C-alpha cells in the first residue's frame, strides 16, 4: 500500500509543469493591476478630499465675505464718534473702522470701496453706527466730517502745534484738575523717569537738562483727540499722550539715526516747521532752509522761537523782540535751543526727515495769501520782504 502511495506521488511530481515566462508575466501583470488600482483609489481619495476642502473653504469664505458686506449689527443703533486723521489711506480708514467695531473686516471693506471707486475722503470727525450698510459708511465718508470732535464733553483735542500751556488750559476746562496740576506733572522728574523706563527710545537724557525748559515734555504730547475717562488722573492723560508720540515716532527711528539727529532734535526742528509752514511741500523746503543754516553755523532766526521765548502771540516780531534774553531765542543763540517749541504733528516730523534739498537760506510768508517765498541770499530776501510783507507803522519787523 505504501508502495502505491509513493508511486502516485512520483507520478504527480512528474506531471507538475515548471512555471513558464508567460505565466510569470501574467502574475506580475495581475499584481501591477492591483497596485495601479490601489494608487488610483489613493489619488481619487486625495482629489476628493482636496475638492471637499476647497468647497468647504469656498463656502466658509463666501459666507464670511457675504456677512462682512452686511451691517456689523443691524440692531445696534448706537453711534460711535470716529476720527479719520489727515493723510489716511483707504486701507487705514478701513482699519480704523474695524478697530472701532463699525465694520467686520477691513480687507473686505477696502476691496469693496475700490469696486465702488470710493476714495475721495476727508480727514475729520465722523459719527458711525454698527447698524450702517457699507454704502452708508462710504457716503458718510464722502460727505466729509467736522474739524472738531462732535461730542467734546469727555474729550480733549490736541491740535498740531499746540503748546503745553494751551493743553493744560483745555484740560482744566474739561476736568476738575487745574492748569497748575497739569504743569506740575509735566515738570515732575520722577514721572519723567517712569516715562523713560517705558519709552527708552523716546524719553532720553535730553529731557533731564536743568533750568532750560519752560515745560519739560513740550513736543512729546502728540496731537490727537483723547478720551477723558471718569477715573483718569493727570498722569494717565499725559502718559497716553506720550505713548502716542512713541507710537508715531517708532517707525522713523532708523531714519532719525541716519539723519544724524536725535529724536529730541527732530521733534524740536519739527515744532518750528509745524508753525512756519502750512502745506507739506512748504514744510519740506522750510526744513531744508533750517538744516542749511545749521550746517553753515548760522542762527536759525525763527520767529516761532521768539514768540515762545516771549510767551506771547503776535502777528509781527520786532527787532526789540529778537533781543529777548532766553535760551529759546534762536536769533541770538545758534543751534536748536533747549527743545521743542510746541507739539508737532506727524507731517512736520516727516518733512524734517525728508526735506526738499535746495540752496535756500531764507524764506518768508505772505500773511494774506499764505504763499511762502524762498531766497538764496540776504539781498534777495530783503527784496521779497519789501514786496510781500506789510508791516504796521508802529512796528518794525525782524528779518
Q: What is the pLDDT of residue 397?
A: 43
Same domain, 300 and 266: yes
d(CA 269, CA 206) in angstroms, rounded, equals 14
Query: Looking at the domain assignment, is residue 200 inside a domain?
Result: yes
Q: Please report whether residue 298 resides in a domain.
A: yes
Using an 8 Å Cβ cutoff, are 77 and 129 in contact?
yes
282 and 347 belong to one structural domain: yes
CATH of the domain at 132: 3.30.1490.480
Q: What distance lies between CA 72 and its chain's CA centroid?
A: 26
Residues 204 and 317 in one domain: yes
My answer on whether 182 and 130 are in the same domain is: no
Domain termination site, one of 143, 165, 184 = 143
Q: What angle do CA 49, 52, 54 make, to 5 degrees?
A: 110
Q: What is the pLDDT of residue 398?
A: 47
Domain count of the chain?
A: 2
Residue 152 placed within a domain? no
CA nearest to 223, candidates 83, 356, 95: 83
Give Cα 184 to chain centroid, integer Å.
30
Residues 168 and 287 in one domain: yes
| Structure-block grid coordinates of residue 140 | 458718510
Query: The C-alpha cell of 216 is what?
Result: 519739560
- Give the H/E segment covering residue 375: strand 372-375
| Residue 125 backbone class (left: φ over 0; alpha: ψ -120 to 50; beta: rest) | beta
- Are residues 173 and 210 located together in one domain of the fold? yes
**8 Å CB contact between 86 and 124:** no
Distance, first Cα to last Cα, the chain: 141
Please list the pLDDT of the chain residue by residue as tens digits (399 residues).
545 555 555 555 555 555 555 566 666 666 776 666 767 777 777 887 778 778 777 676 566 676 667 787 878 878 888 889 877 888 899 999 999 989 988 888 888 888 888 877 888 889 898 989 988 999 889 888 877 666 666 788 899 999 999 999 998 988 889 999 999 999 898 999 999 999 999 999 888 776 556 788 999 999 998 888 767 789 999 999 999 999 999 999 999 999 999 999 999 999 999 999 888 999 999 999 999 999 999 999 999 999 999 988 877 888 898 899 999 999 999 999 999 999 999 999 999 999 999 999 999 887 677 788 999 999 999 988 888 876 555 444 444
Residue 161 lies inside a defined structural domain of this protein: yes
138 with 165, same domain: the answer is no
**Both 138 and 246 in a single domain?**
no
Which of helix, strand or coil describes residue 83?
strand
pLDDT at res. 211: 54
φ, ψ of residue 373 to 5 degrees: the values are: -115, 135
Measured CA to CA, the distance from residue 47 to residue 65 in angstroms comes to 26
Same domain? For 111 and 230 the reply is: no
Instruction: State the pLDDT at residue 191.
Output: 94
Virtual torsion, Cα 370, 375, 381, 387, nearest 10 deg: -50
Side-chain-side CA neighbours of 307 within 13 Å: the count stands at 17
Residues 195 and 245: beta-carbon distance below 8 Å: no
Q: Is residue 17 part of a domain?
A: no
How many residues are listed for the chain in this entry?
399
> 211 and 107 share a domain?
no
Domain assignment of residue 268, yes or no: yes
**C-alpha torsion sign, points 94, 96, 101, 102:** negative
Tell me which residue range forms the domain holding 381.
Answer: 157-388
Same domain for 321 and 181?
A: yes
In a domain, 48, yes or no: no
Does residue 215 lie in a domain region? yes
Amino acid at each position: 500500500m505504501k508502495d502505491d502511495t509513493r508511486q502516485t506521488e512520483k507520478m504527480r511530481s512528474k506531471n507538475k509543469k515548471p512555471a513558464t515566462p508567460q505565466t510569470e508575466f501574467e502574475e506580475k501583470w495581475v499584481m501591477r493591476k492591483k497596485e495601479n488600482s490601489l494608487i488610483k483609489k489613493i489619488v481619487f481619495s486625495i482629489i476628493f478630499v482636496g475638492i471637499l476642502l476647497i468647497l468647504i473653504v469656498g463656502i466658509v469664505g463666501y459666507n464670511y465675505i457675504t456677512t462682512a458686506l452686511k451691517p456689523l449689527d443691524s440692531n445696534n443703533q448706537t453711534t460711535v464718534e470716529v476720527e479719520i486723521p489727515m493723510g489716511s489711506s483707504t486701507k487705514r480708514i478701513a482699519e480704523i473702522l474695524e478697530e472701532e467695531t463699525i465694520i467686520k473686516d477691513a480687507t473686505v471693506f477696502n476691496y469693496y470701496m475700490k469696486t465702488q471707486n470710493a476714495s475721495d475722503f476727508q480727514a475729520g470727525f465722523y459719527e458711525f453706527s454698527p447698524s450702517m450698510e457699507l454704502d452708508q459708511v462710504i457716503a458718510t465718508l464722502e460727505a466729509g466730517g467736522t474739524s472738531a470732535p462732535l461730542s467734546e464733553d469727555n474729550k480733549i483735542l490736541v491740535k498740531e502745534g499746540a503748546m503745553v500751556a494751551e493743553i493744560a488750559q483745555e484740560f482744566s476746562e474739561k476736568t476738575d484738575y487745574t492748569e497748575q496740576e497739569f504743569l506740575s506733572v509735566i515738570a515732575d522728574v520722577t514721572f519723567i523717569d517712569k516715562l523713560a523706563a517705558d519709552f527708552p527710545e523716546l524719553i532720553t537724557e535730553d529731557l533731564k537738562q536743568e533750568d532750560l525748559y519752560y515745560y519739560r515734555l513740550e513736543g512729546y504730547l502728540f496731537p490727537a483727540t483723547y478720551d477723558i475717562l471718569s477715573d483718569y488722573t493727570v498722569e494717565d492723560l499725559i502718559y497716553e499722550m506720550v505713548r502716542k508720540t512713541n507710537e508715531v515716532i517708532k517707525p522713523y527711528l532708523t531714519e532719525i539715526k541716519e539723519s544724524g539727529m536725535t529724536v529730541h532734535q527732530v521733534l524740536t526742528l519739527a515744532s518750528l516747521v509745524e508753525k512756519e509752514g502750512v502745506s507739506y511741500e512748504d514744510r519740506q523746503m522750510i526744513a531744508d532752509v533750517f538744516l542749511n543754516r545749521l550746517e553753515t553755523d548760522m542762527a536759525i532766526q525763527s520767529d516761532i522761537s521768539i514768540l515762545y521765548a516771549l510767551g506771547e502771540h503776535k502777528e509781527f516780531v520786532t527787532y526789540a523782540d529778537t533781543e529777548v534774553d532766553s535760551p529759546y531765542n534762536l536769533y541770538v543763540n545758534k543751534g536748536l535751543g533747549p527743545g521743542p517749541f510746541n507739539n508737532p504733528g506727524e507731517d512736520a516730523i516727516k518733512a524734517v526727515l525728508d526735506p526738499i534739498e535746495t540752496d535756500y537760506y531764507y524764506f518768508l510768508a505772505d500773511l494774506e495769501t499764505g504763499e511762502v517765498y524762498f531766497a538764496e541770499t540776504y539781498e534777495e530776501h530783503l527784496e521779497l520782504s519789501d514786496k510781500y510783507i506789510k508791516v504796521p507803522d508802529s512796528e518794525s519787523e525782524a528779518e
